[in-house]
């Protein structure tokens, strides 16, 4: 469900803006995804609920880049191929 048609906004706590600011500050505006998609630029922009639902505690919130957030959402919704481990350069390859 798209955010624009979701009722989740109505269930956010009154201090949501302060929580968003706290999460961004804690993460130093860096994406906190456990696994980053190739399109991730490392900059966090979206505050995400680690575990789905209405637990808005700071321990259940993380900062993700847009691409990592989209991939995690797909994964949360059952698309298991949405997130993959980062591709590391081969140690013998130059450049």
At 78 the pLDDT is 81
- Share the mean pLDDT of the chain: 84
Is the pLDDT at 79 greater than 70? The verdict is no
Condensed to tens digits (0 to 9), the pLDDT of residues 22-63 reads: 999 999 999 999 989 999 999 999 999 999 989 999 999 999
DSSP characters over the chain: --GGG-SGGGGS-TTHHHHHHHHHHHTTTB---SS--TT--SB--EEEESSSSS---GGGEEEE-HHHHHHHHHHHTT-TTS--PPPPPPTT---
How far is Cα 64 from Cα 1, in angstroms, rounded to an integer?
A: 19
At 82 the pLDDT is 46
Which among 20, 24, 26, 30 is positioned nearest to 65, based on CA atoms?
30
């Amino acid at each position: 469900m798209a955010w624009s048609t979701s009722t989740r906004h109505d269930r956010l706590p009154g201090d949501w803006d302060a929580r968003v600011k706290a999460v961004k500050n804690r993460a130093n505006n860096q994406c906190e995804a456990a696994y980053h998609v190739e399109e991730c630029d490392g900059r966090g922009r979206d505050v995400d609920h680690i575990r789905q639902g209405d637990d808005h505690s700071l321990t259940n919130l993380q900062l993700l880049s847009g691409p990592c957030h989209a991939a995690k959402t797909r994964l949360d919704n059952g698309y298991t191929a949405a997130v993959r481990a980062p591709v590391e350069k081969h140690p013998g390859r130059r450049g």
